[in-house]
Structure 1
Amino acid sequence: MEVTIDSNSGYCFGVEFAIQMAEDEMTDGNTLYCLGDIVHNDMEVKRLHDKGLRIITREDLSNVSDCKVLIRAHGEPPETYQTALENNIELIDASCPVVLKLQNRVKNAYDQMLEKDGQIVIYGQPGHAEIIGLTGQTGGKAIIILNDEDLEKIDFNRPVTLFSQTTKSTKGFYRIKGMIEERMQEASGQDLKTIAFNANDSICRQVSNREPQLQRFSKEQDVIVFVSSKKSSNGKALYSVCKSENERSYFIANEEELQPEWFEGAQSVGVCGATSTPMWLMENVASAIRNIGENCVASV
């Protein structure tokens, strides 16, 4: 049984950058606070905890002072920077450049929409760290939509500017975009060219490009093992891509969740993961699968 790790899986640039910054700060054994999980992967969080990284909440931030706090790749709203200034906190800002650029675009669009009585709509996961940072650019006024029923939050008689969380599905974004266009046309009685709707595909291309790559990879393997934390939004989206191409796709958090029966009759197994999945974890999973294959051969 041949086991292959997808070369395109693993950390995106933003996550890799944030983890490297954290490790650099902890080189001398110093404790470093991090505002929320540095990455949506419990095993990686534990590895960094053992090096001195301590996770705190936004509520905790108000109660610490004279220390260093890492801002992870997801970015933060303006009030976080204000709190840090007031409490003499040195921020180690590891915000992803793609996210920072999007925050600026959302802020500028919001300022413009105020003059038009318009609405900023963001396709994303409510409560997600990146969404909190983006919403902060609008003073909490952005409308967050994820499902069809969330469209009811929008006033289709007013101008709409649409953005997306950087790690959402491209297919999902364009589906939501089409639904908003249709409802705005119905509400106004105008055609597509004249409605006050501006859609911005702000999905990270490093993330969106993984969808076609995973489609190809999934088709090439008898079995797919997708490794990710269950709380990773990106992980859920990418796993659905694998599952749509290969029914024998399985979602696990680590090698302990592997089931030998998944690999019965398989000649090839592909291991892949989310942008928050460390390569060392996928290598552990691949090694465990190889052991399962060897044990099955030995027992025949």
Structure 2
Amino acid sequence: MTITIDKNSGYCFGVEFAIQMAEDEMENVPELYCLGDIVHNGMEVQRLYQKGLRIIDREQLKELHDCKVLIRAHGEPPETYQLALQNNIELIDASCPVVLKLQNRVKHAFDNMEEVEGQIVIYGQQGHAEVIGIAGQTHDKAIIVTTEADLDKIDFTKPVTLFSQTTKSTKGFYHIKALIEERIREAKGELVDFDANDSICRQVSNREPQLARFSTEHDVVVFVSGKKSSNGKALYSVCKSINPNSYFIESEQELEASWFDQAQSVGICGATSTPMWLMQQVADSIQALELQAI
């Protein structure tokens, strides 16, 4: 049985940059605060905890003074920066450049929409860290849509500007876009006052066709990702749609020997938040399962 790790899987630039910043900083201090999980992967969070990274939430941030806090790749709303100034907190800003650019675009679009009583709509996961940061650029007036049912929140008689969370599915975004266009035509009789912005990160969206090809090349696909990862859920669905023998795991402890009974080829892949060392651990464990079966 051959076991192959997808060379295109593993950290995206933004996550890799944030983790490197955290590790560099922790060389000089025994502990470093991080606002929220630095990456949606429990195994990596635990590894960094051993090095001194301490995860805090927004309520805990309010109680901190005169210290350093890391901003992760997902970005933060303006209030976080204001609070840091008030409490003399030094922010180590590891916000992904792609996310920062999107925040600026959303703020500019929001200012324009305010002038015409329009609406900013964000295709994303309610409560997701990146979405909180994006919506913060609109004073939380943006309408968050995740499912078709959420479209009922929109007033289709008013102008609409649509953006996407950077890690959402491209297919999902264009499906929502088409539904909004349909509803605008129903409300106005024609498609007017609608601006759709595909703001999905290309480093993420390009992985969809890559993973589709990868899934066809193997009898069994093992997708490794943290269960909190929005990107992980989207990319796993690509694998599963192509290869029914695809399995989602968070660590090698969830592997089942029966998955590989008839397999000649196993492919291991993961989300943009999945470390390469974890996929290698999974590969080693599958190899061990094979040796036990002999």
Query: Is the contact between residue 35 and residue 69 of structure 1 (CA under 8 Å) also seen in structure 2?
Result: yes
Correspondence for 1:217: 214
Structure 2 residue 219 is matched with structure 1 residue 226: no
Structure 2 counterpart SS, 1:37: coil
Structure 2 residue 19 is matched with structure 1 residue 14: no
Query: Is the contact between residue 124 and residue 164 of structure 1 (CA under 8 Å) also seen in structure 2?
Result: yes
Correspondence for 2:141: 141
Structure 1 counterpart SS, 2:63: coil
Displacement of 1:275: 0.4
When the two chains are superposed, the root-mean-square deviation of aligned CA atoms in Å is: 0.6
Correspondence for 1:37: 37
Correspondence for 1:47: 47
Q: Map residues 103-122 of structure 1 onto 2, 5 A cutoff.
A: 103-122=103-122
Task: State the distance in 1 between where 2:149 and 2:121 align.
Answer: 14
Task: State the distance in 2 between where 1:15 and 1:229 align.
Answer: 14
Report Cα offsets for 1:33-89 as digits up to 9, x if no partner: 000000000110011011010000011111001110000000000000000000000
Structure 2 residue 255 is matched with structure 1 residue 258: yes
Correspondence for 2:24: 24
Displacement of 1:293: 1.4
Query: Is the contact between residue 121 and residue 142 of structure 1 (CA under 8 Å) also seen in structure 2?
Result: yes
Q: Map residues 277-296 of structure 1 onto 2, 5 A cutoff.
A: 277-296=274-293
Amino acid at match of 2:118: G
Structure 2 counterpart SS, 1:62: helix
Task: State the distance in 1 between where 2:119 and 2:30 align.
Answer: 45
Amino acid at match of 1:228: S
Same amino acid, percent of matched pairs: 73
Structure 2 residue 86 is matched with structure 1 residue 89: no
| TM-score, normalization by structure 1 | 0.97
**Where does structure 1 lack aligned partners over 5 or more consecutive residues?**
none
Q: How many residue pairs end up in the alignment?
A: 294
| TM-score, normalization by structure 2 | 0.99
Moved over 6 A (4+): none
Amino acid at match of 1:101: K
Task: State the distance in 2 between where 1:189 and 1:252 align.
Answer: 48
Displacement of 1:294: 1.7
Task: State the distance in 1 between where 2:21 and 2:60 align.
Answer: 21
Task: State the distance in 2 between where 1:223 and 1:243 align.
Answer: 10
Structure 2 residue 263 is matched with structure 1 residue 248: no
Displacement of 1:30: 2.5
Task: State the distance in 2 between where 1:231 and 1:37 align.
Answer: 10
Displacement of 1:28: 3.1
Displacement of 1:245: 0.3
Query: Is the contact between residue 29 and residue 51 of structure 1 (CA under 8 Å) also seen in structure 2?
Result: no
Amino acid at match of 1:47: R
Structure 2 residue 200 is matched with structure 1 residue 203: yes
Correspondence for 2:268: 271
**Where does structure 2 lack aligned partners over 5 or more consecutive residues?**
none
